[in-house]
Every structure is written in C-alpha cells, then in structure tokens.
Amino acid sequence: MQNLIDYTLKHELNTATRQQKIHILFNYMEKRGQSFYDEVVTQLEHALQCAALARRNSASPEQITSALLHDIGHFILDEHNADIDFLETDLNHEEIGAEYLEPFFPNAVTTPIRLHVPAKRYLCSVDTTYYDGLSDASKRSLKVQGGLMSDEEQLDFEKIPHYQDALTLRKWDDQAKVRDLETDGLETYREIVLQCLR
Ligand SMILES: [Fe+2]
C-alpha cells in the first residue's frame, strides 16, 4: 500500500509558503484530475462540482475545502475508472487522503474527508430512500466499504466530532457527478482554502 501512495505532493507542500501550498495543491489536482472518476465526470470535475454544491449551500470555508479535497486520496493513489476494479476494490482512499492532509488542515477539514465513506454506510443504514437513490456503482461499492452499520456502529459514529459535516459532504459527493456541468474553476477557491490552511 505504502508504495502506491504518491508522496511528491506532500514533500512539496512541506517546504512551501502558504500561498505556494495552494498553487502546488491546485496544480496537482489539475494534472492528476484529468482521468475519469466514473463514465461521466473526471476526478477534477467531480471535486469542483462537490465544492460548488458546498458553496451554493453557504457552507463554512472548512466544509467547502473538504468538499473540494474529499477525494484527494484517489488522486494520490492514482485511482480512476480505467483501473480494473476501481470502485470495487477498496484502497481506503478516505483514510489515506485525510492522513495526507492532516499536517496542513484542521480536523474540521480532514474529519469529514475521513468519514465520507462511513457516512454512506451510516446514511444507507438509517434511510432506505437514501440507499435507493444511489447509483448502481455506489450500491455495489457499499459492500466492499463494509455494508450497512449495526446500531452500535451508528451510535459510535454519532460520537465523532464533525460527523454531521461528513453526512452533508456525502450527499454533495453523491450529486457531484453531472455530465458537462459548467462549474467555477479551482482558482475561485484560492482564498477559501487559504483560510483553512494551518
Ligand atoms: Fe467523491
């Protein structure tokens, strides 16, 4: 697993100023985000659509930043739909992404990223209409992500700070898969992400 993770971004971020960090991060997303997330949107389009939903819903800078960066784990693992088994095998992109960003962003940003997959398990467990609304690929991947949560798991989940932000993020994530949707570019998030940087 370790050798699947691209550490070049982290090394560059470690020695950069705050302004440079944004530049490095956005460049990386531009470069790595051109592969397809699913058959409809690229990884970058998916990130921008998710962040746009957060901004449209007057979310906090931390929520908008976590929406923009929630799948950074896919970028650093170079996971995309051309890989056999992407969305079927689970490399824990949410854990890897959150851990990768923790030196640079507060928990209000990284916890929803870490929880956006368990959030789907939680929502499917408490709300059957949520499950019914998922795409076929998302229903399939639920199994490898651990399936439904038990009552005990749900209670534990509700004790985690920022879990509600993870549920909200998850719902934006599910909607951020619209073909050819025009969105604001990465640069429009510069000040918001900068505000959240440690
Ligand atoms: Fe996503």
Domains with residue ranges and CATH for the chain: 2-196 (1.10.3210.10)
Q: Sorting pLDDT into bands at 50, 70 and 90, what band is 88? A: low
pTM as predicted: 0.93
Q: Determine the distance separating the centroid of ligand 1 and the alpha carbon of 185, expressed in angstroms.
A: 17
pLDDT of residue 90: 67
DSSP string, 79-112: --TTSTTBTTB---HHHHHHHHHTTTS-HHHHHH
Q: Which amino acid is at 180?
A: D
| pLDDT value of position 27 | 98
Residue 173 CA, ligand 1 centroid: distance in Å = 5
Highest mean pLDDT among 33-42, 70-79, 97-106: 97-106
**Nearby residues of 121 by Cβ (< 8 Å), 6 or more positions away:** 142, 145, 146, 147, 148, 149, 153
| Spacing, Cα 191 to ligand 1 middle (Å) | 22
Identify any residues that bridge with 36 across adjacent strands, giving them in sequence order.
42
What's the full length of the chain, in residues? 198
Q: What percent of the chain has pLDDT over 90?
A: 80
pLDDT score of 172: 97
pLDDT digits (tens, 9 = 90+) for 125-179: 999 999 999 988 788 889 888 999 999 999 999 999 999 999 999 999 999 999 9
- The amino acid at residue 163 is Y
Q: What is the mean pLDDT of residues 83-107?
A: 83
> In the prediction, which pLDDT does 89 show?
61
* Percent of the chain surpassing pLDDT 70: 93
How far does residue 125's CA lie from ligand 1's centre (Å)? 19
State in Å: Cα 169 to ligand 1 middle: 9
- Check whether 54 has a pLDDT greater than 60: yes
Between CA 121 and CA 124 the distance in angstroms is 5
| pLDDT confidence tier of residue 85, bands split at 50, 70 and 90 | low
pLDDT above 70: residue 81? no
Alpha carbon of residue 126 to chain centroid: 22
Distance 71 CA to ligand 1 centre (A): 5
Note the pLDDT of residue 6. 94
Q: Is 173 left (phi over 0), alpha (psi -120 to 50) or beta?
A: alpha
